[in-house]
Structure 1
């Protein structure tokens, strides 16, 4: 119990402190995930050795990442107007149908080229690092500076992509895992029937039903005045956990279902209600975001990083530079929301890798027993947190300076 109480004091104090100075952090070209990561490192054996993650449940990192990811994608779904997805379906389809597979292939090729992994393991690592992290992405495209300097179409595109591709990354991750365990024909049959049709397809359908039904119930409760304000503000957080747990219990993709449920729930809300819902989830998001990055700092494999050497650092940097920008330049005419090269450069660079990769890495390690996944993925995550954290404010100001539209909101 002592270790749990120490963790509660540290995490609670950190959430409190970072909340008090949240504006200052952005002014210092810092980000809350970056600050939480540093605190985790200082608490670990690499720092003052105050908290040992090994004394806690071995699955705590995976489950904490799953909860943080669910809250993050729900926040994205509530943040973006429901009409945006319908009006901008071409841009979203291109980002998910073309850019996402390219990211998987590019990541895998870089891993296979630079590190000593077989092809299937390289494919698995590439898939793990494919999804854009909604928590890190939102920290980049939210706040007054982003509203003033970035076009709304760009902020919404990055948000929707980061929220939707986290759940859609699951089939990419599972395919190499199935190939490792079964013959190619059996693995492919299982992947198409179980993964695509059931785990992805059912998640979309059931998530839509849950979100629409939850919105309809809330409207009824409001019309009959059976719900008070204190219950209303917790409604979306309850919807997040209900969807995540319920869909997972039937063996489907809970993360994807949460995003779809949030989008359909948001479609039933008025603008004022959406703002209230967003504030609730944003507050919850901070409470889940800071602990997960602190836990990441506690779990960093320093010795294994040393073994990766210069090749590991090169891999992390090349993935961040190459896995999005080249393909975005190639398909720019297919993405109407990207109107100029500045849009492509900004969107290409800010495709952060974070909690989604952490979750899929721990899930894959549990299913395959390949411990070597963690040093690679954690190094890329930390590189993303650091580089995207320190460049977010500067690059946003730079975009605003050279943006031909000269307007944050269109």
Structure 2
């Protein structure tokens, strides 16, 4: 194929990829290949075909790539929030919170030590590298017990909750690392400002604002539908609107937009019906599978469920597109990454030593020496969050030499994580399910 890729070539390649994924889904499962692995390989091959001058460069296109990763991250966080039926103040959040705070901080600390002693980085740069690589990905971990609901599997709930929360809790450490760099883009940041605003205010305000927006919008829509038969339909706009409102308000208030969007999803899916006096739930429609959408959407016993299902289904499709886009980009960036000799030991150290040590230390006292603990220690999948923070750092004053090093290290860790975790998720889940079945018996 000619190295000059026209729009027709791109349409043909992407269309063929999507159709092939649908047709070969069963075969991929038998080959232990995840869809993310296929996206990664596809992006890598396309980047080799396209001429170097036309390819993406993370240093030149950092703002564009950062925006793409940001949008993908917002979609994934809202979608994860919609899937998790556990109340925000439920005690089951204790484990994901510890993983997202303590284990994340330990991960950053260990990578900082590795960066200083193994990579000869300044302390600020090493902290920044730890902040970039610490977040785990709730989207790429979706193969680990995707159905969570009100009574979720403990493993799936912990991994999804950790991935959603640490995408936000790692941000203060990223800004701290940038502030400690000489001539960094955030060099004006003071310690007190960092503690008060980036750590405490950002997290707390983000959760409160997001929960309020998700709950208020959800209740207003249900009220209008059940009392006035208005605001019916356009559930896709509703999903995007809640994401935009939560993120925008949080950013304007210097709060965590990522936590706000996640909390908005949690609150939105918990909106309850407003049954009208003298009404009863609808039964199955005679001679049909069910009732029309408008009938259910405006009925006071079913409106919230219909609204939640519609928004959840739409966001699930958006999530797949976001994963496709970002992972293809990661694969496309791989051939242009600078060769770094430390990759051969850095990648296994982060995935095989740092993650288990951080989970064991952060969850100390919670009986992690179990199959569930072993699975949590292994499935610390890196993905969209690391990509976003890498581009954020490049956009905020990271030097060219550090940018090239960080691009190589980050893309190497993400790619290895996608391949290894994608190949291992099915056999390990079978092992985990057998262990649960044995315990029940």
Q: Which has the higher contact order (CA 8 A, sep 6+)?
A: 1
Relative distance call for 1:253 and 1:288 in structure 2 (3 A) is same
Tell me which moved more, 95-104 or 170-179: 95-104
Cα distance between partner residues in 2 of 1:240 and 1:185: 31
1:354 paired residue number: 383
Cα distance between partner residues in 1 of 2:118 and 2:325: 32
2:318 paired residue number: 284
Tell me which moved more, 161-170 or 23-32: 23-32
Do the aligned residues in 1 keep the contact of 2:246 with 2:257 (CA within 8 Å)?
Answer: yes
1:401 paired residue number: 434
1:136 paired residue number: 140
Do the aligned residues in 2 keep the contact of 1:164 with 1:256 (CA within 8 Å)?
Answer: yes
1:296 paired residue number: 330
Do the aligned residues in 1 keep the contact of 2:97 with 2:161 (CA within 8 Å)?
Answer: no
1:80 paired residue number: 84
2:354 paired residue number: 323
How big is the shift at 1:176? 1.2
Question: Which structure 2 residue ranges, 5 or more long, are not aligned?
Answer: 273-303
Q: How big is the alpha-carbon RMSD for the aligned residues of Structure 1 and Structure 2? A: 3.1
Question: What does the per-residue CA deviation read over 1:244-271, in whole Å, with 9 as the maximum and x for residues that have no partner?
Answer: 3443355442222111111111221556
Question: What does the per-residue CA deviation read over 1:78-126, in whole Å, with 9 as the maximum and x for residues that have no partner?
Answer: 1111337613132233223321211111222223332232221111101
Cα distance between partner residues in 1 of 2:50 and 2:168: 37
Cα distance between partner residues in 1 of 2:358 and 2:61: 41
Mapped pair 1:313 → 2:344 = yes
Whichever of the two has the greater Rg, that structure is 2
Cα distance between partner residues in 1 of 2:194 and 2:18: 40
Cα distance between partner residues in 2 of 1:319 and 1:162: 17
Of the three residues 22, 29, 32, the one matched with 1:29 is 32
Cα distance between partner residues in 1 of 2:265 and 2:116: 37
Question: What SS class does the counterpart of residue 135 from structure 1 fall into?
Answer: coil
Question: What does the per-residue CA deviation read over 1:316-355, in whole Å, with 9 as the maximum and x for residues that have no partner?
Answer: 111111223224334656447x5x5211110110010111
Within 5 A, what are the aligned runs for 1:6-405? 7=10, 10-11=13-14, 13-44=16-47, 46-47=48-49, 49=51, 52-54=55-57, 58-83=62-87, 86-142=90-146, 152-180=153-181, 181=183, 187-223=190-226, 224-229=228-233, 231-269=234-272, 273-302=307-336, 304=338, 306=339, 308-309=340-341, 311-330=342-361, 332=363, 334-335=365-366, 341-370=370-399, 371=403, 372-403=405-436, 405=438
How big is the shift at 1:210? 1.2
Question: What SS class does the counterpart of residue 140 from structure 1 fall into?
Answer: coil
Cα distance between partner residues in 2 of 1:355 and 1:11: 20
Question: Which structure 1 residue ranges, 5 or more long, are not aligned?
Answer: none
Tell me which moved more, 280-289 or 263-272: 263-272
Question: What does the per-residue CA deviation read over 1:37-86, in whole Å, with 9 as the maximum and x for residues that have no partner?
Answer: 11111110x34549622599552211111111111111110111133761
Question: TM-score with structure 2 length normalisation?
Answer: 0.80
Question: TM-score with structure 1 length normalisation?
Answer: 0.86
Relative distance call for 1:228 and 1:374 in structure 2 (3 A) is same
Cα distance between partner residues in 2 of 1:404 and 1:113: 45
Do the aligned residues in 1 keep the contact of 2:81 with 2:266 (CA within 8 Å)?
Answer: yes
How big is the shift at 1:26? 3.1
How big is the shift at 1:25? 2.9
The answer to which structure has the higher helix fraction is 1
Do the aligned residues in 1 keep the contact of 2:381 with 2:421 (CA within 8 Å)?
Answer: yes
Cα distance between partner residues in 2 of 1:271 and 1:407: 31
Relative distance call for 1:260 and 1:123 in structure 2 (3 A) is same
